[in-house]
Amino acid sequence: MRWLEKYQAKRVSADEAVKAIESGMRITMQPGCAVPQELVRAMVRRGESGALKDVEVTHILTMGDAPYMDPKFEGIFRHRALFIGHNARKAVNEGRADAMAVHLGQVPKLFSTGVLPIDVALIHVSPPDEHGFCSFGTDVGTIRAAAEAANYVIAQVNPKMPRALGDCFVHVNKIKAFVEHEEPLLEMPQFVFNPDDPKTVVPMKIGENIVDLINDGDTLQMGIGTIPDAVLYYLPDKRDLGIHTEMFSDGVVDLVEEGVITNDKKTLNRGKMVAGFVLGTKKTFDFIDNNPIVEFRPTEYVNDVQVIAQHDNMVAINSAIEVDITGQVCADSIGPRLFSGFGGQVDFIRGAAMSKGGKPIIALPSTAKGDSISRIVTQLKPGAGVVTTRADIHWVVTEFGAVNLYGKSYRERAKLMISIAHPNFREDLERYAKENHLI
């Protein structure tokens, strides 16, 4: 067990480990619920000590706080967001952090090809097994490519990190320093639906409309938010569903335990739920621990359009901020104000479109701000970005129905989109469409 000797020789404190971080370096960290919190705290302490300047910290969405984005660290740390999380939104829109437009499936390539060279990777892993392999646990997604490309890898070793199975292991020989620190993982609770709560009526109706499009035996991908959670709420009557998705949460665990998700009808990786990461609570973390039904794969596999397309009856469910009446989808900004990112939306919309029997779905509430603003619009707001083009769009779902724009002319699209807009705005949308000779 030579690996054990090496492991023990590389055990250090967090403050000692982060001395590898120097001014001018680019740092990445494991995202989602797997943020290596002890290493982040030590990195921030090193920044506070005056030892660092011009350090770039790049990653996709992370749970919890991101103290290195505090204005007091300007000139010391600067964040590059590959997907803007809630903790990065303010810094990005104040110009204290940067953001990139990138499909999630392309993020690993940024690291592996050296477009974004990584000096130090901060990872969060399970304790090594008898062969010296640590699991990336709740998130292998983009971090494995980053860790493989990094010059120096520091691992927080945490017995609370589940030993997820699949293509998500790293050997102790590949890690430069180990920091043993036990603490609970960051969590993302699922949205709680209550038919008597007015705030849940709209997402529940959207969920019902989407579930009408799902058949027994379909394979599902669902993004983040209340609408995907609402879909899960209405799925218990379905049978033999499969999962191939960038992420899943607590609601999927319930459906596996109820026998709704079996993966028995999947065309690819039959019998396995394939995902890149989870965003959930301890319930999900316990579920994935040493569970052979779950196969974690890196993003470059999970979000590969050709891999997605090999699944017959692939249903991809993603959300939007607004959609115009020709089918252009904005999902990352509110006008020029950056809000989130591309994520895997286009990867899965295109993959599902190529799938035999597949259904790419964009879902959104018809309005915002107490029905005062329509999210089905004549034109996207000035400065808004197009994430999914109108040539890619198929199904669009609101609480007022579901329409399929595939194969439709602009005239037909406009009529269909107006039909699922909020009734308060249909007259204005129709007037615009007539004035611009769309209908």
What are the pLDDT digits (tens) for 51-100? 999 999 999 999 999 999 999 999 999 999 999 999 999 999 999 999 99
* Residue 98 backbone phi and psi in degrees, to 5: -110, 160
What are the pLDDT digits (tens) for 232-264? 999 999 999 999 999 999 999 999 999 999 999
CA 176/CA 155 separation, integer angstroms: 8
* E strands present in 328-370: 329-330, 333-334, 337-338, 359-363, 367-368
Rg (CA), the chain: 22
Give bridge partners of residue 29 from the DSSP assignment.
Answer: 122
User: What residue has token string 């090594």?
Assistant: 128
Domain 2-180 class in CATH: alpha beta
One fold for 2-180 and 198-435: yes
Q: Does domain 198-435 fall into CATH 3.90.79.10?
A: no
Domain ranges of the chain: 2-180, 198-435
Mapped onto helix, strand or coil, the DSSP state of residue 314 is strand
Q: Are 235 and 255 a contacting pair, CB within 8 Å?
A: yes
Question: If you ran DSSP here, which 8-state letter would residue 18 be given?
Answer: G
CA 319/CA 332 separation, integer angstroms: 10
Longest dimension (CA), the chain: 76
E strand or H helix that includes residue 132: none
Catalytic residues: 246
At residue 199, the pLDDT reads: 84
CA 309/CA 47 separation, integer angstroms: 45
User: Token pair of 187, please?
Assistant: 């969590």
Average pLDDT by consecutive 10-residue portion of the chain (439 residues)? 94 98 98 98 98 98 97 98 97 97 98 98 98 98 98 98 98 98 95 80 96 98 87 94 96 95 98 97 97 98 98 97 98 96 97 98 96 97 97 98 98 98 98 96
User: pTM for the full model?
Assistant: 0.96
User: What residue has token string 């959609």?
Assistant: 323
At residue 198, the pLDDT reads: 83
At residue 197, the pLDDT reads: 82
Give bridge partners of residue 330 from the DSSP assignment.
Answer: 322
What are the pLDDT digits (tens) for 196-227? 788 889 999 999 999 999 999 999 998 778 89
CA 349/CA 309 separation, integer angstroms: 10
**What is the full DSSP assignment across 169-230?**
EEEGGG-SEEEE---PPP--PPPPP-TT-HHHHHHHHHHHHHHTT--TT-EEEE-SSHHHHH
CA 154/CA 176 separation, integer angstroms: 6
For residue 195, the one-letter residue type is: P
Mapped onto helix, strand or coil, the DSSP state of residue 79 is strand
At residue 158, the pLDDT reads: 98
E strand or H helix that includes residue 76: none
* Residue 156 backbone phi and psi in degrees, to 5: -85, 120
CA 121/CA 170 separation, integer angstroms: 13
Burial status of residue 155 (CB atoms within 10 A of its CB: 0-12, 13-18, 19 or more): buried
Question: If you ran DSSP here, which 8-state letter would residue 43 be given?
Answer: H
User: Token pair of 220, please?
Assistant: 């599902």
Q: Are 68 and 45 a contacting pair, CB within 8 Å?
A: no
